Structure 1
Amino acid sequence: WTVRKMRLHKKHFEKDGSGYITVSADNGEDLWQLYNIIVGGDVVSADTHRKVQKEVGSGESQRVAMRLSLKVDDTLFDTEALTLRVSGRVVGENRWVTQGSHHAIDIECGKGRSISVQKSVWDSFALSSLEVASDPTSKVVLLNRFEQASSTFSLV
């Protein structure tokens, strides 16, 4: 049984410990690793949708696809829906969204979308988590726990 590892598209680290990565999350394990890597104060960039007014005062709105960057306040990993919700304040200018406004980005696995994570300091835990998550040669063990009428699968 093979688990495809998180795809690491780009990484860049400075001598002062700051830097960024760009990855794609293909499965729930990738989202779990991102959940453990991303902390408050990081900047996460990803594709998202937001409802915006068509014209000022018209009352009509539309959903617009965009790429946003958020300074992270909080993350939430939903194990049932296999989504990672990253919430925070918008950084950088955007035609549709004002800088400093609150937004949440829902990252779903298997959509092939890239996610960038920028940190002022990449600590040893984040770096080792990234290495394990993206190293195609690392091994994954599947555990299965049976309890009465249910079974729980875990990747170790």
Structure 2
Amino acid sequence: MRVLKQEEQTGEIKVLIETLDDLWHLYNIILPGDIVIAVTFRRDEVKADKIRAERAEKKRMVLGIRVEKIEFHDSESRLRILGTIEEGPQDIGSHHTLILGEGESLTIRKEKWNRVTLERMERAVQDSKKPKIIFVAIETDEAYLATSRQFGVQEIATINASSSGKMYEQKESGDFYGEVLEKIKMSAEPGVPLVLLGPGFAKEALMTLGKAKAPEIFSNAYIYHTGQAGMAGIQELMKAGMGAEVIKDSRIALETKLVEEALEQIAKDGLVSYGPADVRHAAEMGAIDTLLILDSEIRKNNVDDIMNMVEDSRGRVVVVSENFEAGKKLDSIGGVAALLRFAI
């Protein structure tokens, strides 16, 4: 994501959407009640009153809508923002839906940008510069390629061998592995962590081929054994936890570390609060050092006061993605937890 303009006086920030991850960040930044201004298409106000036979074409215009609902569609690479028109050349007060994708810009206007939201905006800008993890879940006759994104794991491709069995492996396996290698080259870049996983020895064979034919990509490759291949194998690996060398610089690592620390504190009845009521009490006491809060809790728009209290007491607020294992664990204890400075 690229910030094109920022006006403190009006509370407006204009951004350019560059990646699918940017849409996920915006899904969590834009809240009901905000004004979003963007180029859109709508039928002409006058001609819209004519009979259907003379239905007017949609015209390009800039509209500002008061947000009522936000929908993120990763399969379509689209963000849908629904609301009522407050600014524009026509139809003030009518409902409209902005549909935004990569390459488009929008302006977000908030009455107040809190620190957490501004940090999320900054993280979106920085995340666009960081490499993602490429997963290759492979068996003898099938390989599943996916990439780690801010909103979860997204499929890139599935490659199937044209036939299977021992004879095929001896005679045609080079074509299968070669095709997998070509797909990896299309998706990965030098420096991007590459994780090979699966239940058999196919991952080792791919590693050998990759180091010989694409050393610039496979120099940062890691092998993990899983009981399953495909997306199930990737989820199995993420649940078990990948090695620190793979995710050490990623947001996943930070979120995982902090959630695990909170769970450890819960297990030994240590310096931790969890669940909305207990965390709110800890915030009121100024006892929170680090607040962990799930994406979905922020979208409910009922935790701003807790975050403000934590910020006012010089605490840290960390938003945890609901789509990774750390987020699922946090959700299981109420969606919010706090590491404390002192016992309460």
TM-score class, shorter-chain normalisation, is 0.7 to 0.9
| 3-state SS of 1:77 partner | strand
Alpha-carbon deviation of 1:153? 1.3
CA displacement 1:58-97 (0-9 Å, x = unmatched): 5421111111100000110100111100010000241xx3
- Take 1:69 and 1:20, find their aligned partners in 2: how far apart are those partners? 12
| 1:73 paired to 2:68 | yes
Match of 1:3 in 2: none
TM-score of the two chains, using structure 1 as the length reference: 0.80
* Structure-2 separation of matches of 1:82 and 1:57: 34
In structure 2, the gaps of 5 or more residues are: 150-250, 252-344
How far does residue 54 in structure 1 lie from its aligned partner after superposition?
Answer: 2.8
TM-score (norm 2): 0.38
> Which amino acid is the alignment partner of residue 23 of structure 2?
L
Give the total of aligned pairs: 144
Alignment partner, residue 147 of structure 2: 153
- How many Å apart are 1:135 and its aligned residue? 3.6
1:55 is displaced (CA, Å) by 6.9
The structure with higher relative contact order (CA 8 Å, sep 6+) is 1
Q: Does 1:129 align with 2:106?
A: no
Write the deviation string for residues 119-155 of structure 1: whole angstroms up to 9, x where unpaired.
Answer: 0111222111111112489644425373875343113
Separation in 2, partners of 1:93, 1:64: 13
Partner of 1:98: 91
Query: Could you tell me which amino acid in structure 2 is paired with residue 132 of structure 1?
Result: R
Q: Which has the higher strand share?
A: 1
- Residue equivalent to 1:142: 133
Residue of structure 1 aligned with 2:38, choices 17, 38, 46: 46
Secondary structure of the 2:22 match is helix
Distance 1:91 1:142, change over 3 A: same
Distance 1:152 1:48, change over 3 A: same
CA distance in 2, matches of 1:85, 1:141: 25
SS of the residue corresponding to residue 39 of structure 1 reads coil
Code of the aligned partner of 1:150: Y
Amino acid at match of 1:109: E
Q: Which has the higher helix share?
A: 2
Distance 2:22 2:85 in 1: 24
Aligned equivalents of 2:88, 2:128: Cα separation in 1: 40
d(CA) in 2 for partners of 1:115, 1:137 = 17
The letter for the 1-side match of 2:27 is Y
User: Mind listing any 5+ residue stretches in structure 1 that lack a counterpart?
Assistant: 1-5
SS for the counterpart of 1:134 is helix
Contact in 2 for aligned 1:82/1:108 (Cα 8 Å): yes
Residues 4-30 of structure 1, C-alpha deviations (whole Å, 9 max, x = no match): xx111111224xxx7110011011011
Identity within the alignment, %: 30
| In structure 2, C-alpha distance between the alignment counterparts of 1:20 and 1:87, rounded to whole Å | 19
Alignment of 1:111-130 (within 5 A): 113-130=104-121
Query: Which range is displaced more, 45-54 or 132-141?
Result: 132-141
Q: Secondary structure of 2:97's partner? A: strand
- Partners of 1:123 and 1:81 lie apart in 2 by 30
